[in-house]
């Protein structure tokens, strides 16, 4: 149970850091969520939003960060 507690605490801290980064990005004027490739469809009673461009950008940035971190571990 000790390891589970550490993992949950680590995930909580990671979520807090991601939330802070998103808030900081919005204050700096980065258009996350409004990039080209983000789909937004609005009907009379239904709206659908799929942030494909933002997801791809975040994936590329995280992949680059993890690649650099893995190079330092060797």
Contacts of 29 (CB under 8 A, 6+ apart): none
Which of 50, 48, 15, 17 has the alpha carbon at shortest distance from 34? 50
What is the pLDDT, as a whole number, of residue 41? 92
pLDDT per residue as tens digits for the range 50-73 = 999 989 998 998 899 889 988 988
Its pTM stands at: 0.65
């Amino acid at each position: 149970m000790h390891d589970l507690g550490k993992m949950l605490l680590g995930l909580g801290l990671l979520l807090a850091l991601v939330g802070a980064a998103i808030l900081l990005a919005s204050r700096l004027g980065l258009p996350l969520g409004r990039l080209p490739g983000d789909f937004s469809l609005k009907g009379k009673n239904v709206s659908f939003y799929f942030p494909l461009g933002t997801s791809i950008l975040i994936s590329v940035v995280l992949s680059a960060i993890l690649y650099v971190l893995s190079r330092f571990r060797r």
